[in-house]
Chain A
Amino acid sequence: MKEITRRDFIKITSAGLIGAAISKPVFNFIPPFLQKDHTPPLESELTKSPTVCDICFWKCAGWAWKDKKGNIVKLTGNHLDPHSNGRLCPRGTGGLGAYYDTDRLKRPLIRVGKPGSQKFKEATWDEAFDYIVDKMKQIEAKYGREAMALFMHGTTGPHFEYLWEAYGSQTYAEPAIAQCLVSREVGFIATFGQGLGSPEPTDTRNTKCLVLIGNHIGENMHNGHVQEMSAAIDHGATIITVDPRFSTAAAHSKYWLPIKPGTDIALLLAWMHVIIYEDLYDKDYVQKNTYGFDYLKDHVKNFTPEWAATITTLDPNLIRKTAYEMAKAAPAVIIHPGRHTAWYGDDTQRERAIAILNALLGSWGRRGGFYLPEKVDLPKFPHPPFPEPRWSWRTITTDKFKYAIAGVTNVLIDHSLPEYDGPYKIKGWFVVATNLIQSIPDQQKTIRALQNQDLVVVVDILPTEITGYADVILPEATYLERYDLIRNNHHRTPNLALRAPAVEPKYETKPGWWIARELGIRLGLEKYYPWKTIEEVLDWQLRQVGTSLEEMLKVGVKHFDRKTPLYIPDGVNWPFPTNTGKIELYSTDLAAMGYDPMPVYKKHEDPPAGYLRLIYGRVPMHSFGRTINNPYLNELRSENHLWVHPKVAKLMGLENGQEVWLENQDGKVSSFAVKVRITERIRPDSVYLPHGFGQKSKLLHRAYGRGALDNELITKVNLDPITGSTGMRSNFVKILTSKPQKANS
C-alpha cells in the first residue's frame, strides 16, 4: 500500500513555497486586513458579479466575489448554470490565480533584433497596432489577404474570426479541433447526421450503464460530466472503463478492460457481434430508425470475442459479459464518444463504431442515453456581408481530407513552410490564445514555419513559449477583467450565460474584443464595427430574445423554454439529417467519398524492442499547459510523474522519485528530467505522462522545467484520412537513467 501522506503533500507544497518566496509578489493578493484579524469575510460582506470561467472549454458560469476594497477574493459556481450546477471544478475555483499571476504579459511588446531573437521592447498599443497594420499591408500587397493565417482558441477566438472574415481571409484553424474532437464529430455526423458539440449531450445522470473508452472522466474535469457520473454512481449505474491505464474512472468502475493500446476498434466490432448475433439489439428502434443493418450484420459476422481477444489481449468472456451489461441497461446506456479522440489516424472509424454501437442499443435520443440538446436562437449583431476570399482553409484541406469540417492546423503549417511553393502560401501568423509550439505535434516543423513568416503576432495572457517567436505580443486581459460574447451552448434546456468583468484590466492589458476592433478600424474595416463597446452588441442580442444586459448582470444565467422534445417521442418516425433520413449503420457519405462505409480494424504499430508506448493524459487540477503557472493550481500539482509498471521498474532498476529522461523512436529527447512513479496502474508495455508540464518558457516561473512535456516526444503524427485529425498515440519512448547531452539544464 502506497500513500501520499500529508507530509508529502506539505513537501510538495513547500517546494511551491520556496518558489513563491523567490517571486515574492505571489503573496500580494492576500488582503492585508485578513492577515490581522484572521476571520474570513462572510458572503454578506462581499459583492458578486457574473462570470463564465475561461480556464477550460466547459465554460462554467459562476460568480466573482469582491471584498470592500475591490479585490477578488473567490470564485464560485452559479446555481442556475447547467454546466456547473453551482460548483466550479478545481481549475475554476483556482481561476483567480490567472488574474493574480505576476508572470502575466503586462504591456504590448515589439521584437528588437533578428527574428526569433526573443528580445523585445515595450510599446504602446498604438505603436504595436501600427507595426502590425504596416506589415499586414505589405503581406497583402505581395501575397493577398488570404496569406494572413489565424490560429485561435477559446472565447477570444470568435472576436478575431469575425475580424478575419471582415478582412477577407478565411485562412484559419482552431488547433483544438483537429487535435481533439473533429473525428468524433464527423463519426457521429456520418451516423446520426449530427455531431455532439459541447457539452456532449450524454444523459449520464439517468444512465444505467456508462462505457468509457480511453475517456478519463474525473481526470478530465469536464465539470457537468464529472458531476453526472457521480450521480450515476449514486444510483448504482454500471461503469465499464476501457483503458490501458487504471484511471480514476477505472477506480470507480465495475469492469476495467486493460486493453492493448490501438486495438479499440476490434473490441467495438466484437461487442457489435455479440449484440447482433445474440439478438440483444433494440429491434424495434433499429428497424424503425436505421439504414444498413443487414450490411452491418454481415460485416461483423466473424468478429467474435475470441477473435478480438487475440488482438486486444482482453479476456473473451469479459468482452461478452460487458456486452450483456450494456444490453441489459439499454436504452439507458452510453458508449461515451469521448472528447480528445485524435489517437491513431483511424479515429473517425473508431468513433463511427462507437456511434453504431449506441444505435444498436437504441440509446440515441433516449433517456439515460443521449438527450436531444437545444440552444437559444440568438441573432448575431447585424453586419455588412463579408468579402469572399480567393481561397480559404477549405481550398487547401478538403481535397485531402474530404470530410474535414474545420481548418487543420497541420495543413496551415505545411503551407507556411519555406519549401511550400504552391499558390496558397501563408506569410503571416496571428496566434490567439494558443501555444502552438506545445499543442501541435512535431515542434521543429512548427518552429520552421514560424521562422518563415513576415509577421507573427501573438495575443495571450501569459508569456508562453510561442510568444518568444512573435514580432509583436499583445497582452490580453483575463476573463475576470473582460466581457465576451454571450455563452450560448446547447443543453437540456436552452440557456444563456454572461461573462462580465469583475474588475478593470490589470497592467496595460486589454480585452480580446477591444484588440480585434481596434485592429479592424486601423485596417479600414470601420463598417463592420458600428458599435463602440461590446456592451452595445450584447444588449442588442439579448433584447432580441426578451432579456437584457441589465437582467443578465443580475442573474448571470437565464433559461428558455424548449421548442423540441428532449427525447425521441414513442411511435414517432424521427427524421435524421442524413442522406437516407435514418441512422446510417452503413454510411452513404463515407462510401461516396471512397472511405470504408463501415469500420474496419487495422493493425497499428507496436513499440519497437526496448521501447514503451507513450500514453498521455490529464490531471484534474490543470487545463493542459495553460494553468501550470497558476499559483493555486501549480501548488496542487507542479510537475508530472512518469507512470511505470513495477515489472519495468524492476528490470531497469528504477526507484520511485528517480529522475529519468525520455527518448522517442526518432531520437528526440525530453528537455527536462521527469520523476518516476512506479505503479500497478499501468500496463507493462506502456508509460503514462500527464500532459502540460515541462514548460520551456523561462518567463513562467512556477512552470519552467518542471517535469517532461509529452508533446516534445510526439514527432510521429498519423493524420486521419477522413478529417485530418492528428493522431498522436503512435509514439514510443525509451527511459534514460542518466542525463543525455541533448537535454536542458
Chain B
Amino acid sequence: MADLTLRQIRKSYGSVDILHGIDLDIKSGEFIVFVGPSGCGKSTLLRSIAGLEEITSGDLCIDDEVVNDVPPSKRGIAMVFQSYALYPHMTVYENMAFGMRIAKVSKAEIDKRVRQAAEILQLTKYLDRLPKAMSGGQRQRVAIGRAIVRNPKVFLFDEPLSNLDAALRVATRIEIAKLKESMPNTTMIYVTHDQVEAMTLADRIVVLKDGHIEQVGTPMDLYKKPGNLFVAQFIGSPAMNIVPARIETAGEVTAISHIGANKVTVPLATPASANGTEISLGVRPEDLFIAAGADYLFEGTVDYVEQLGEVQLVYVDIGQADLPLVTKLPGNVEVKRSATVRLNANPGDLHIFGTDGCSVLQPQSAHGQTGPRL
C-alpha cells in the first residue's frame, strides 16, 4: 500500500536541467507507465523515485512522508533494470536472497520467500544456476523475482522487455500483467518506448517530453482525447495525420477548410473570435475510410501502399509537401498506385489543435468540458 506523490520534482546535472518540475499523484495499487521519446528523462525520473539519483528540488512523498533523503533500500521500492543487473557470480537462489541476507532475515524465512517467488515465476528448476547459463527471458524472470522477494510497496521497471525478442516480449508482457493482478496493492511504475506495452499494461499513462509531463490519463483517454499535438502524434501507430487548416465559420458548429479538400463542419462550438484562425486538423489513419458518396474530406492520389495482410497502409498525396496522408484500410480493399481516392472520416473522429499545439478538444466530447483554447 503506497500512495506516491511527486511535487515539483526538478533534476539537473550541473547546469543542464533534465526534469523541469514534475507533478504527479500515483494512487496505491496503480500501474503507471512513463512513455516519451528517447532522452526525455523517463529513466531519470524513475531513478529519482528509486533514490538512485538525488533530486535537485521538489518533494517526493510515499504515503505522505517526504522521502527525499531516505536511502533507496529504505523506501520500500524494488527496481528491475533494463540490463537485469543480476550478480554474475551468484546463483539464481543467491541473487534473490542477497537483499534479505543483507537485511539479516532468518535462513528459514529467506528460503521460504525465495522458493515462493521461484514457484510463481517458474524458476524452481534453475535455482542453482548461474545467470550466464540462462536465457534472456529466464534472466528477466530472475530479476523480477529478486524484486518480488523484498515485498516492495512500489515496483519500478526500466524498459524491462527491450532486450527480448518479439515473441518473448509478448509472453513476458502478459506475465507482467498477470503479476500485477496477483499483487493488487503494489504500485507499479513502468518505463517503456513501446506503445503496445504502454496501452496494454497501464492504468494510466504519463507522456513525457523534454522533462515535462505532456499529459496523464488512461490509455483510452490519451488515444481518444489527446491534450495536444505531441501526445496526438506520439500515441497511436502509425501516428495521427496532421493537416494545416483554418476556421471558416465559428459558432455552435465549426466550419473548417483545409488544403486538398472541401470545407467540413465539425460539431464543436467555437467563439466568434476564432473566425479565420489557423489550426491543425488531426485524424488518425484508422479513422479514415474510402468515401462512399459525394461527401468527402480529402482527395488525393495514392503514393504508396504497404500491404500488411490484415490491413494495408495507404499513403495518399493530398498536396502537402513531403507529408502524405496515411490511411489504414482493410487488407482486402483494392487500391492501386497513382489512382485518385477520396477519403472521409466521421466528424466525431476529428481533432483540432490550436496554433500553440493545444487541443481544442475533440468534437463529440467538447460540450460540458473545458472551453476551447485558441
Q: Do A and B come from one complex?
A: no
Chain A residues engaging chain B, CB cutoff 8 angstroms: none
Binding site for A on B (CB under 8 A): none
